[in-house]
Amino acid sequence: MLAVTLNLLFPHSISRTESEFENSAMTSIKQEGLPLTDPSKIELRRETAVVLPGKRRGAHAALGYMCSAVLLVLFNKAALSSYSFPYVNVITLFQMLSSCAFLYAMKRWKIISFSEGEPQSVTSNPITLIPLRTLVHTLPLAVSYLLYMLITMESVRGINVPMYTTLRRTTVAFTMIVEYLLTGRKHSSYVIGSVGIIIIGAFVAGARDLSFDAYSYSIVFMANICSAVYLASIAHIGKSSGLTSFGLMWCNGIICAPILLFWTSFKGDLEALMSFPYLYSSGFQVVMLLSCIMAFLINYYVFLNTTLNSALTQTICGNLKDLFTIGLGWLLFGGLPFDLMNVLGQSLGFLGSCLYAYCKLKGK
């Protein structure tokens, strides 16, 4: 009551006293070193808390892809070269059937879901596990995936691992072109410059390759085109279909597996497989099993990385993991002798990949 009366009698004095009190309190807090709360800093923390988990998830997807990709290339090379396994389509078929089996089991055990926001207990179709309309929507992605897998497997056979990974780096150029044609996406001059360094490094590394094979090189470039179309399709269809990475993998499997099964049977690969001399060798069976497991992991990380980041980022991740693939390929399978031009080209490619990662981190 007294405070109300004083406020009515001396409004300006009371307001001035309160203001002086607040100013003195703030000065005292600052002098004592007590923390102050800045609204702008609070908002910045909130935005950072939202952005950082997404960046971490994208970084984890990229790292998981690079690790599984290195192992997959080495296991495929071991099966095709060390054991002289001549049936590329059979390896692809085994990998696809294994992925479908893993996905079906995890879906039935309610570990994963195939659609965004879908409870694990929901099953749209008892056979396909997803609506038929969604399955048809992913048909272009499945076709591009099948071509990508078959041509990529064939491209490993006739070329050594170091030069294979070097030529595969040119995929970044194809990916930028396909992204622009399908989605109209344009990249900054910084990104284009980093891609240019990668391309120059690839040509420098292969300048003195005496093991040139026109057929093998053409197959690798065909694999690059298929990879670009496949990754751009993931980015486009993955966002429009509402499927998770597991759902996209499942659609690919149930569409492509019957086609590949018919193709391998028609060519007689399955029948000829029974006479393969190392079929019952424990070493060969372990290599095939690990190859199937790595194929499942790399497919998942490819979908996840491309969906969270972009098709071009996925391609650049493939270039970053090439350094480890090249080193392990030289140690395990042999290949090119030491050459300064090759080392310089590999270094330029790795530098361009790092520059691209820096540009994406800084948002350039």
3-state secondary structure the chain: CHHHHHHHHCHHHHHHHHHHHHHHHHHHHHHHCCCCCCHHHHHHHHHHHHHHHHHHHHHHHHHHHHHHHHHHHHHHHHHHHHCCCCCHHHHHHHHHHHHHHHHHHHHHCCCCCCECCCCCCCCCCCCCCCCHHHHHHCHHHHHHHHHHHHHHHHHHHCCCHHHHHHHHCCHHHHHHHHHHHHHCCCCCHHHHHHHHHHHHHHHHHCCCCCCCCHHHHHHHHHHHHHHHHHHHHHHHHHHHHCECHHHHHHHHHHHHHHHHHHHHHHHCHHHHHCCCCCCCCHHHHHHHHHHHHHHHHHHHHHHHHHHHCCHHHHHHHHHHHHHHHHHHHHHHHCCCCCCHHHHHHHHHHHHHHHHHHHHHHHCC
Report the distance separating Cα 242 and Cα 230, nearest Å.
18
Residues 6 or more apart whose CB falls under 8 angstroms from that of 182 comprise 232, 233, 236
pLDDT (0 to 100) of residue 340: 78
- Give the residue among 93, 145, 125 at the shortest CA–CA distance from 252: 145
- pLDDT reported for residue 332: 64
Tell me, what's the pLDDT at 327?
67
Question: pLDDT value at position 335?
Answer: 55
C-beta pairs of 260-269 under 8 Å, 24+ apart in sequence: 260/89, 260/92, 260/93, 260/96, 260/146, 261/93, 263/89, 264/87, 264/89, 264/90, 264/93, 267/89, 269/87, 269/89, 269/90
> pTM value?
0.67
Cα dihedral sign for 52, 58, 64, 70? negative
Contact assessment for residue 287 and residue 78, using Cβ atoms and an 8 Å cutoff:
yes
The whole-number pLDDT of residue 306 equals 79
**Residue 310 buriedness (CB in 10 A; 0-12 / 13-18 / 19+):** buried
How many CB atoms neighbour CB 195 within 10 A? 25
Name the burial class of residue 124, with classes exposed (0-12), middle (13-18) and buried (19+) by CB atoms within 10 angstroms of its CB. middle
CB count, 10 Å around CB of 74?
A: 21
- What does residue 243 show for φ and ψ, rounded to 5 degrees? -90, 150
- So what's the pLDDT on residue 6? 39
Dist CA 103 CA 105 (whole Å): 5
Residue 275 token pair: 């006479």
Mean pLDDT of each 10-residue bin along the chain, 364 residues long: 42 44 44 45 41 61 78 75 81 90 89 72 64 88 82 74 71 84 80 87 72 76 87 82 87 90 90 88 88 87 78 73 68 63 80 80 69
